[in-house]
C-alpha cells in the first residue's frame, strides 16, 4: 500500500501567504474584544538596588486608568515562593516580574498601569514615580573576567594530549575573538492578549514559540488548572528564539486579568524588547596546531560568555570545535561571567552562531599560516565521525558543499595574496567558512482526520514563526494520506492540540513532520480497513497493489473516493492520533546539517566602507521538503550573518548599566542596500537514518559560518585581521 508523493520536494507557495499579505492573519496584540483593558509596563531606570517607594497617585487620577499593579499590591502567587520552570529555563532562579523590591537589571518591569486604552496606559505610566536605593552594578563582562565560573553545560571532556601536540605543531594559531550582545528584534513585538471568560477560564493569544510551554508555565506559576488555560499563537511575526521562554508581558497580563476579572492586553514597546533575552557577549580563545601539510594536531577552544546573576545561561558554544574537523587532541572549556543584566536567551543557531564564527576565523588564520587554500585546509581535515561522540555521521555531504559552492562562486580564480584583487578604488576580498548544526528530533504528537467531504485536517500544537510550518506540514500530510493539497488543512498554534515541542533548533520538520507523516500513514491503514468492509471486491486485492492518490483509493481497475470510505465508516469520519519519537536506528549515529559559505566583499581603500557584494551558501540538510520556504530560511540566515559580521551590537552604557541603542534606528541591522546577490544551493543528501522524512532542518544552519566568511573576506581584501565583532569602520581604519 503506498501513496503518490507529488508535493514533498516541490517549491510550493505558502498556504498562509494570502492571509498574511491581505491582513487577515491576526497576531497576539491584534485580537479584538469588547471592553478590553490595556497594560503598559513601567521599567526600572537603575541596574541594581532596591525599590523604596512607588507613587502611582498621579497616574491613578487620570480618567480611564483602572489600576496600577506593583510588587506590593499584586495578586498572591504562591509559586513565587517555590521553584518553577519552563521548557527553556536556564539553571538558577527564573525571573519573577513584580516579585519583590529587588532591582536586578536596568529595564526590569516594576509596575503595570492598566487603562481603557493603550495611549492612556502609556501616558499614565510616565506619571508613576519610583524612588530607589541604587547599588553598585557591573554590566561589562571584560572588566570582571576573573569572576567567571565554569558553565553548567555538557562540555565534552578533553581527548588526547592537547598541550603536548600543540607545543610541537609545525603551524600554530593562538587568537582571541570577541562577539557582541545581539537582541532578537522580530518585527512583531511581544504581546499577550488575555481574554477573561465568564467561567473564569483564560483564553490567551501570546507571542510565543510554544503554546504548551506557556500553558505549563502559567499552571506552575499561578496554580491554574491546565484545562482552564488555553494559549493560542496562530501567527507569529518572527521570533528567532525570543519566544522560547514566556516573556514577562505574559504573567503581567495574567496577573491583571485575574485581579480585575477583565480581559487585558499587554504589549511591549520596541525599547522594552531590549529588556529580556539576547545572544550573549563572548570572548573566545582558539589555539590550533597543525603539521606542515595542514593536518590538525591540536584544537583548544576556551570560551567565556555573560549571564545574569540569577541564572546561568548556557548554549552549545565550544562543542563545534570538537566535531567539525578530524582531530585527536582536543580541549574545550566554557565559563560564565555573572552580571547585573537579564539572562541571555537562545538566538538563531544558539552557540553555533558565535562558536563557529571563532573556529572558522581561526581556521582561516591557520590556512594563511600554513600557506594553504582555505578550502583545501578544510578538505584535509574532513571528519566522517563526530569526535565528541565517537560516532559516524548518518550522512555528511560537506565535501560536496565545498565543491558546489566553490564552483558556483568561481573560487578557483582567487588570488591568495591579501590586497591583490581590486575593482577601481575598491579592494576585493574572497572568504569562506564551513557551518554545522545538530539535526535533532523530539517527541511530538499529531492528529489526522478525514471527513465525509474528503477533507483532511491534521493538527499539532507546534507554531509557525514565519518558517513555513503551515505549508510543509500540509505538503507532508497530503502526500502521506494520498489527499489533494487543496483538500488538506494543518492546524497549529493552540495548546489544546496534540503535544508538540517548542519551535526551534531546526527540529520542527523532523519532529512534528514525522508525527504528521505517521498519523496520515496510519489513517490510510484505517481507511483501507473501512474500505475492505464496505467494498467486498477489495477483499482479494494485495496491499502492495493498492495506492492512495489525489483523494482516491486505487486498486486494480477500481477507484474509490476516500470521502465515500469515510462517509461509510461508523462515525462518518476516520480519525487517528499518534505519538512519534526518534527511531532507535539513530542511536549509533551522529546527525548534523553542514554548509559551506563563500563571500565576496568590497572595501573602499580610502574610507574603509565594507560592502558584501556576493554570497554563495551551499547547504547539505537531507531532504528538503519545500525548496522555496527552505531557500527563504537560508536567505534570512545569510542576511543575519552579514548583520552579525558588520552591524548588530546592543551597546551598553556601563556607567548606567543600560542599553543605549534600544530602538531600530540605532540598533543597526542590514537593510536592502546592504544585501546584494545571495545564491543558495541545496546539496543532494540522502539520509534514511535521521528520520523517516530524511529531513534535517534548515532554520539554524543558514546563519552559521556567514559572519566568519565575511571577516575572512575582509582580511583577504585588506590584509587586516579584525577579531572583534561587529567589524565596523573604526576597527578597520
**Pairing relationship of beta strands 191-196 and 202-206 according to DSSP bridges:** antiparallel
Phi-psi region of 410 (alpha: psi -120 to 50; beta: other; left: phi over 0): left
C-alpha cell at 389: 561522540
Q: Does residue 468 contact residue 14 with C-beta atoms inside 8 Å?
A: yes
Whether 365 is catalytic: no
State the Cα angle at 367 between 296 and 618, rounded to 5°. 95
Is residue 510 within 8 Å of 697, Cβ to Cβ? yes
End-to-end CA separation in angstroms for the chain: 67
CA dist., res. 431 & res. 176, Å (int) = 19
How far is Cα 622 from Cα 682, in angstroms, rounded to an integer? 9
Sign of CA dihedral 279, 284, 290, 293: positive
The CA distances from residue 315 to 23, 131, 154, 377, 546, in Å, are 37, 37, 9, 28, 49
On whether the CB atoms of residues 243 and 236 are closer than 8 A, the answer is yes
CA distance 576 to 572: 14
Four-point Cα dihedral 279, 180, 148, 152, nearest 10: 20
Q: Which of 360, 521, 600, 700 is catalytic?
A: 700
Which residues share a beta bridge with 574?
450
Residue 597 near residue 705, CB atoms below 8 Å:
yes
From residue 655, give the alpha-carbon distance in Å to each of 51, 648, 725.
20, 21, 22
* Residues 603, 606, 609: CA angle, nearest 5 degrees: 35
Whether 69 and 256 have beta carbons less than 8 Å apart is answered as yes
CA 358 to each of CA 115, 156, 288, 403, 518: distance values in angstroms, whole numbers, following the listed order: 49, 18, 12, 23, 40
Contacts for 450 with CB less than 8 Å, ≥ 6 apart: 456, 481, 483, 523, 527, 562, 563, 566, 573, 574, 575
CA atoms of 51 and 276, how far apart (whole Å): 20
- CA distance linking residue 164 with residue 168, whole number of Å: 7
DSSP classification of residue 168: T
What Å distances lie between residue 479 and 57, 336, 413, CA to CA?
A: 62, 47, 44
**In contact, 289 and 169? CB cutoff 8 Å:** yes
- Nearest by Cα to 357 from 178, 184, 185, 182: 178
Task: Show which residues are catalytic.
Answer: 700
Amino acid at each position: 500500500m503506498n501513496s503518490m508523493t507529488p508535493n514533498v520536494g516541490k517549491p510550493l507557495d505558502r498556504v498562509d501567504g494570502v492571509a498574511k499579505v491581505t491582513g487577515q492573519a491576526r497576531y497576539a496584540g491584534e485580537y479584538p474584544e469588547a471592553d478590553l483593558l490595556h497594560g503598559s509596563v513601567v521599567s526600572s531606570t537603575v541596574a541594581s538596588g532596591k525599590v523604596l517607594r512607588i507613587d502611582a497617585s498621579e497616574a491613578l487620577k487620570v480618567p480611564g486608568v483602572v489600576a496600577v499593579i506593583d510588587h506590593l499590591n499584586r495578586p498572591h502567587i504562591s509559586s513565587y515562593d517555590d521553584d518553577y520552570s519552563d521548557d527553556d529555563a536556564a539553571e538558577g532562579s527564573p525571573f519573577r516580574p513584580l516579585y519583590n523590591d529587588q532591582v536586578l537589571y536596568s529595564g526590569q518591569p516594576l509596575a503595570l498601569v492598566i487603562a481603557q486604552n493603550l495611549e492612556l496606559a502609556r501616558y499614565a505610566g510616565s506619571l508613576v514615580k519610583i524612588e530607589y536605593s541604587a547599588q553598585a552594578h557591573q554590566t561589562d563582562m571584560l572588566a570582571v573576567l576573573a569572576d567567571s565560573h565554569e558553565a553548567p553545560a555538557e562540555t565534552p571532556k578533553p581527548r588526547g594530549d592537547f598541550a603536548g601536540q600543540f607545543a610541537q605543531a609545525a603551524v600554530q594559531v593562538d587568537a582571541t575573538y570577541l562577539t557582541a550582545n545581539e537582541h532578537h528584534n522580530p518585527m512583531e513585538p511581544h504581546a499577550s492578549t488575555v481574554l477573561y471568560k465568564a467561567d473564569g477560564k483564560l483564553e490567551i493569544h501570546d507571542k510565543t514559540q510554544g503554546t504548551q510551554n506557556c500553558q505549563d508555565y502559567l499552571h506552575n506559576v499561578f496554580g491554574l488548572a491546565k484545562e482552564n488555560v488555553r494559549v493560542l499563537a496562530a501567527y507569529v511575526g518572527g521570533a528567532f528564539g525570543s519566544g522560547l521562554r514566556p516573556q514577562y508581558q505574559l504573567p503581567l497580563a495574567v496577573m491583571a486579568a485575574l485581579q480585575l476579572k477583565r480581559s487585558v492586553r499587554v504589549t511591549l514597546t520596541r525599547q522594552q524588547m531590549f529588556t529580556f533575552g539576547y545572544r550573549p557577549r563572548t570572548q573566545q580563545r582558539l589555539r590550533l596546531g597543525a603539521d606542515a601539510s595542514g593536518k590538525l594536531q591540536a584544537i583548544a577552544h576556551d570560551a567565556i560568555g555573560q549571564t545574569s546573576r540569577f541564572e546561568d545561561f548556557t548554549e552549545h558554544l565550544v562543542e563545534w570545535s570538537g566535531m567539525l574537523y578530524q582531530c585527536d587532541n582536543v580541549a574545550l572549556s566554557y565559563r560564565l561571567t555573572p552580571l547585573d543584566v537579564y539572562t541571555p536567551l537562545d538566538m538563531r543557531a544558539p552557540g553555533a552562531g558565535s562558536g563557529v564564527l571563532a573556529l572558522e576565523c581561526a581556521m582561516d588564520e591557520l590556512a594563511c599560516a600554513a600557506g594553504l587554500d582555505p578550502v583545501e585546509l578544510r578538505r584535509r581535515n574532513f571528519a566522517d565521525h563526530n569526535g565528541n561522540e565517537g560516532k559516524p555521521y548518518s550522512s555528511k555531504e560537506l565535501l560536496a558543499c565545498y565543491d558546489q559552492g566553490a564552483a558556483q562562486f568561481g573560487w578557483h580564480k582567487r588570488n591568495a595574496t591579501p590586497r591583490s584583487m581590486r575593482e577601481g578604488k575598491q579592494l576585493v576580498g574572497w572568504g569562506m567558512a564551513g557551518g554545522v548544526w545538530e539535526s535533532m528530533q523530539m517527541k511530538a504528537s499529531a492528529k489526522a482526520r478525514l471527513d465525509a467531504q474528503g477533507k483532511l485536517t491534521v493538527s499539532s500544537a507546534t507554531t509557525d514563526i514565519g518558517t513555513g510550518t503551515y505549508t510543509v506540514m500540509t505538503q507532508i500530510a497530503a502526500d502521506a494520506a494520498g489527499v489533494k493539497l487543496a483538500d488538506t488543512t494543518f492546524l497549529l498554534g493552540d495548546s489544546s492540540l496534540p503535544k508538540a515541542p517548542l519551535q526551534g533548533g531546526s527540529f520542527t520538520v523532523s519532529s512534528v513532520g514525522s508525527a504528521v507523516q505517521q498519523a496520515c500513514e496510519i489513517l490510510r491503514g484505517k481507511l483501507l480497513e473501512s474500505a475492505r468492509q464496505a467494498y467486498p471486491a477489495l477483499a482479494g486485492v494485495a496491499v502492495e497493489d493498492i495506492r492512495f492518490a489525489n483523494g482516491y483509493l486505487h486498486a486494480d481497475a477500481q477507484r474509490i473516493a476516500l470521502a465515500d470510505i469515510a462517509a461509510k465508516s461508523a462515525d462518518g469520519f476516520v480519525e487517528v492520533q499518534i505519538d512519534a519519537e526518534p527511531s532507535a536506528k539513530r542511536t549509533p549515529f551522529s546527525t548534523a546539517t553542514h554548509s559551506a559559505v563563500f563571500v565576496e566583499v568590497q572595501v573602499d581603500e580610502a574610507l574603509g566602507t565594507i560592502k558584501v557584494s556576493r554570497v554563495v551558501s551551499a547547504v547539505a540538510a537531507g531532504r528538503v521538503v519545500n525548496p522555496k520556504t527552505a531557500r527563504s530560511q537560508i536567505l534570512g540566515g545569510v542576511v543575519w550573518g552579514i548583520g552579525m559580521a558588520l552591524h548588530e551590537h546592543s551597546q551598553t552604557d556601563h556607567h548606567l548599566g543600560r542599553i543605549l541603542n534600544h530602538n531600530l534606528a540605532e540598533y543597526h541591522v542590514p537593510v536592502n542596500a546592504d544585501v546584494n546577490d545571495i545564491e543558495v544551493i541545496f546539496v543532494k543528501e540522502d539520509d534514511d537514518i535521521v528520520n523517516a522524512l530524511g529531513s534535517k532542518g534548515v532554520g539554524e544552519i543558514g546563519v552559521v559560518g556567514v559572519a566568519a566568511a565575511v571577516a575572512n573576506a575582509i582580511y583577504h581584501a585588506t590584509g587586516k585581521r579584525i577579531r572583534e565583532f561587529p567589524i565596523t569602520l573604526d576597527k578597520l581604519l
